[in-house]
Copies of this chain bind each other. A is one copy, B any other.
């Protein structure tokens, strides 16, 4: 099981040597992904053209790829950057947004997974079922599937793909094929802000980029987003809604202390 104490240590590492997290991501949530990276202490860079993605990733600590608004050019950039990241041992975090929704996403995701070795793949239940080749009840980029078999799916996929698999939902599941844990942090309001899944992948990128194992990074990124969601909700006043909740989410990530972390994370 993940050592929560090690997680506390990794906050210090982020501050001592801020990891540069290269993103090739969607246009919907790219600003939020950059800002959560900064909030947790990392440094973001978002170069997404095939002409430069490979060169840019060479100086990065981790690479986050996200197919939320996929284009021919961005998928080329993902391949170029991903191959260079693999060559240099830079961890890749893959967020297969809406992979089950269209043929185009499925084919691209399959191609990315064939060409690249990903350290972490993190998405919702429908996305992970689609990655596994199962039929899903996805609706757009939202999951429509029960998480009853999430642990089995995660550990099976992890073993098959040689990656840490993280499935987000009311209760998140993380597995590297040998160890499988649940993370019980979070708040339902997180689903009412666009891109909290994307942002979780950025947080995983920050943890993976500062020397944590893929498994630890995935647990830590997911727990950090969950804890921030809890703190953000608690800070809401009468009459405040999702607008303030989103602001408080960034506040919470930027003020999260190792003490709050150790006290708050719920990993089983």
Contact = CB atoms under 8 A, between A and B. Distances in A.
A48 B27 CA distance: 10
Interface in A126-162: 139-142
A117 interface: no
A243 B247 contact: yes
Secondary structure call for the A interface? mixed
Interface string A213-254: 000000000000000000000010001111110111111111
Contacts of A254: 192, 241-243
Interface in A3-32: 20, 22, 26-32
Interface string A58-96: 011000000011111100000000000000000000000
A194 interface: yes
A251 B255 contact: no
Contacts of A242: 35, 38-39, 250-251, 254
Contact of A49 (B35, B49, B69): B69
A186 to B, nearest CB: 16
B47 A102 contact: yes
A49 B70 contact: yes
B194 A38 contact: yes
Contact of A56 (B34, B47, B72, B102): B102
A20 B139 contact: yes
A31 B29 contact: yes
Interface residues of A, number: 63
A92 B240 CA distance: 32
A228 to B, nearest CB: 10
Contacts of A20: 139-140, 142
A240 B248 CA distance: 7
B251 A56 contact: no
Nearest to A103: B55
A193 B39 CA distance: 8
Contact of A59 (B139, B243, B255): B139
Interface of A: 20, 22, 26-32, 34-35, 38-39, 43-49, 51-52, 55-56, 59-60, 68-73, 98, 101-105, 139-142, 192-195, 235, 239-244, 246-255
28 contacts: A20-B139, A20-B142, A22-B140, A27-B30, A28-B30, A31-B31, A35-B193, A35-B246, A38-B242, A39-B243, A46-B68, A49-B70, A49-B71, A49-B104, A51-B70, A51-B72, A51-B102, A52-B101, A52-B102, A52-B104, A55-B104, A59-B140, A241-B251, A241-B252, A244-B247, A244-B248, A246-B247, A246-B250
